[in-house]
Amino acid sequence: MGVVSFARGVPAPECLPVSELADCARAAIEADGTSVLSYGPGGGYAPLRAWIAERHGVEPSRVVITSGSLQGFVFLAEQLVHKGSRVLVEAPTYDRPLKILTRLGADIVGLPMDDDGLSIGALERALAEGEKPAFLYTIATFQNPSGRTLSEERRVRVAELAREHDLLVLEDDPYGLVRYEGTALPTIFELEGGTNVAYASSFSKTIAPGVRVGYFVLPPALAAQIEALAVSTYISPPFMTQATVHEFLRRGNFEPNLERVSGLLKARRDAMLDALERHMPDGARWSRPEGGYFIWLDLPEETGDLLARAEEAGVTFVKGTDFFADGGGTKSLRLAFSFVSPDEIAAGVEKLARLLHGAPSPAPAL
Amino acid sequence: MGVVSFARGVPAPECLPVSELADCARAAIEADGTSVLSYGPGGGYAPLRAWIAERHGVEPSRVVITSGSLQGFVFLAEQLVHKGSRVLVEAPTYDRPLKILTRLGADIVGLPMDDDGLSIGALERALAEGEKPAFLYTIATFQNPSGRTLSEERRVRVAELAREHDLLVLEDDPYGLVRYEGTALPTIFELEGGTNVAYASSFSKTIAPGVRVGYFVLPPALAAQIEALAVSTYISPPFMTQATVHEFLRRGNFEPNLERVSGLLKARRDAMLDALERHMPDGARWSRPEGGYFIWLDLPEETGDLLARAEEAGVTFVKGTDFFADGGGTKSLRLAFSFVSPDEIAAGVEKLARLLHGAPSPAPAL
């Protein structure tokens, strides 16, 4: 066994529907080649845009499909954030948006979280004091990095606050459909109706990251601005990948594939929860997500040089501090269980635990 | 016959190798699915990067493949241009870079052109006076919009000046391979060696624009910066399209396709030159490109409301003024002959000529 990577928040190779996508690509190009292989609307391949629009109950012009949803986040941030603009984020949150916001000179305000997601009290205080924020960025379901899900009660409240304060909420939801137990909660977008909430998702976790098909459902005026920015950046996005995804959906492969992928991920999450339970020292706490890719591990003490020692021992993760704008996360780790096998997960967690002060000795091999 | 579009600088549908690309997409995904469908290097799909690197005699790390070369231009401009930075461009030049540079607050300095390309005297003066430019942007071969090609003597001189002044030259060369007569000239990149010259091209005109595969060959330090910017914008580009292009190349389809496409384009250029000769009034002048998509038409008087009248009459073009940062081009038109058929070209030029003051009456139908 090589290095066990709890750092890579990507699907395991067996999650990727390779043969089916190969055939979908061929069929999509043959069926609509002169559209697929030409320039076209900056907001995306029309049939896929229509499919997404119908799913979310909006006009297709409100959907902007980008090469992965991060590209859409960049457009949105470039449109809305100026030097010094306040942007509210969960603390912790996905590290790439933090870097983008930092590059744009945003004043990033981190809202603390607990097991039910972002703190409503902290959101209310942030709205009461200071300049109006450019937007609130939330990954409400199976959050990256924490695996936590915003409770329904809090979703309702975030939707209300968005209305009351004319606050734009950007709900990033790449993991919501990768639920392997429990009941799906309504999105903030659904609760609010889409006037003050922009919704983002992608097919990276439900089909394959390499198709690079993410999308935003935006308020009409903002959709037009973002589409114009897309046109002036790359004329039109690659329709080949978007048409391939559309063909995959048209054939009815989406739900069965999601079920298959969820099964593979559930086995991995179960392996990680089980290993944490068996090996972690007293005082360690971790999230118990019902879906997604990540578990957040809080240790009783600072992680210090744990990552370096772990890498030496053959296991890697991402440090909690990477997910805070302001120096939090010093006792935390993000553990991705999506990429490695259940056996690797068991071995990796055991290795990690051995490096922790106060961890029980490994059980003797039977 | 509907509206004849001399505005669309895109290939005619029959230029697109639809069936072959459909099969290449299938084969590429089947052969290397877990790479193609995952995240990977921000600079592009490794086998295609290697192919491009070999073609240009550089290390693969100096190649950055983007979703069309405009995306690469945006990255480069964001990296190099700050508010007030001087950027030298040809006057006229491609309108999209002008808009991007304007958005970034660049001080755009237009270098006048004649039939042999940009004026070396004007370049020397621009280098002698004022702040050092962030870069010189040139489309040296079959320029968009003018169809003009920089002469070999001037290429040598631009390469020398780049060295002498430590000036970064960005040579954008999407049309160079679409030559249907005459002898190819060395690129400025080849003449200079690639220390001060960055080279950009794409497969939009040689395979299909919809694959959205463009690339930059950059000095090593700049390549690393641009790749980092790509990663922080979209993690990795869509490998599916890049792998499809690579499969197309691997099968040996590139040269035969280029020959086929060049034949289709030559027939269109011939039709346009012939029609201009027959119908244009005295005092009109136009470029005579040996390749590419465009002819630049200079009229003896201001175009005024010609575009509106032309659209009413069923023919459209892009106004010369769109290709200048500073109000030039008032007597000029960009005529794209790439999209329409030879018959449409003949009819469209005749319609256009009828609208011009002093144009001869149409010859009676025989």
**CATH architecture type of domain A18-250:** 3-Layer(aba) Sandwich (3.40)
CA A217 to chain centre: 16
Which letter, b or e, does each residue of A54-77 get, where b requires 16 or more Cβ atoms within 10 Å of its Cβ?
eebebebebbbbbbbbbbbbbbbb
- Residue B182, token pair as written in the block: 């005459």
C-beta neighbour count of A322 within 10 angstroms: 16
pLDDT tens figures, B115-163: 999 999 999 999 999 899 999 999 999 999 999 999 999 999 999 999 9
pLDDT tens figures, B294-347: 999 999 999 999 999 999 999 999 999 999 998 899 999 999 999 999 999 999
Alpha carbon distance B58, A206 (integer Å) = 38
Which letter, b or e, does each residue of A11-38 get, where b requires 16 or more Cβ atoms within 10 Å of its Cβ?
bbeebbbbebbbbbbbbbbbbbbebbbb
Contacts within 8 Å (CB) and 24+ apart, B82-86: B82/B134, B85/B131, B85/B133, B85/B134, B86/B126, B86/B130, B86/B131, B86/B132, B86/B133, B86/B134
Which region, left, alpha or beta, applies to residue A260 given φ > 0 means left and ψ of -120 to 50 means alpha?
alpha
The predicted model scores a pTM of 0.95
CATH number (3.90.1150.10, 3.30.70.3400, 3.60.10.10, 3.40.50.10310) of A4-14+255-354 reads: 3.90.1150.10
In terms of CA atoms, which chain A residue is nearest residue B241?
Answer: A240
- Arithmetic mean of pLDDT, B283-289: 97
Burial (CB count within 10 angstroms: exposed 0-12, middle 13-18, buried 19+), residue A285 = middle
Q: Where are the domains of chain B?
A: 4-14+255-354, 22-250
In chain B, which residues have their Cβ closer than 8 Å to the Cβ of A205?
Answer: none
* Per-residue pLDDT band at A326 (split at 50, 70, 90): confident
Q: With an 8 Å Cβ cutoff, are A234 and B70 in contact?
A: yes
Contact between B7 and B317 under an 8 Å Cβ cutoff? The reply is yes
- Residue A195, token pair as written in the block: 């006037």
* Residue with token string 């049939």: A47
- Beta strands A332-336; A294-298: pairing state: antiparallel
CA A268 to chain centre: 18
CA A256 to chain centre: 21
Q: Do domains A4-14+255-354 and A18-250 have the same CATH topology?
A: no
Contact between B99 and B330 under an 8 Å Cβ cutoff? The reply is no
First to last CA, chain B: 20
ipTM reported for the complex, 2 dp: 0.95
Given this model, what pLDDT does residue B2 score? 85
In chain A, which residues have their Cβ closer than 8 Å to the Cβ of B22?
Answer: 25-27, 29-30, 33
pLDDT tens figures, A129-181: 989 999 999 999 999 999 999 999 999 999 999 999 999 999 999 999 999 99
* Chain A, window 305-364: residues with a beta carbon less than 8 angstroms from a chain B beta carbon: none
Contact between A328 and A44 under an 8 Å Cβ cutoff? The reply is no
In terms of CA atoms, which chain A residue is nearest residue B233?
Answer: A71
- Arithmetic mean of pLDDT, A82-97: 98
- Beta strands B285-286; B294-298: pairing state: antiparallel
Helices (H), B147-253: 152-165, 188-192, 220-234, 239-250
A200 interfaces chain B, CB cutoff of 8 Å = no
In terms of CA atoms, which chain B residue is nearest residue A26?
Answer: B22
* Chain A, window 89-148: residues with a beta carbon less than 8 angstroms from a chain B beta carbon: 96, 99-100, 103
Q: Which CATH class is domain B22-250?
A: alpha beta
Given this model, what pLDDT does residue B110 score? 98
- Residue A355, token pair as written in the block: 């490096």
Q: With an 8 Å Cβ cutoff, are B210 and A238 in contact?
A: yes
Chain B interface disruption, residue of A14, A38, A73, A95, most B CBs within 10 A? A38
pLDDT tens figures, B8-60: 999 999 999 999 999 999 999 999 999 999 999 999 999 999 999 999 999 99
Alpha carbon distance B136, A200 (integer Å) = 38
A183 interfaces chain B, CB cutoff of 8 Å = no
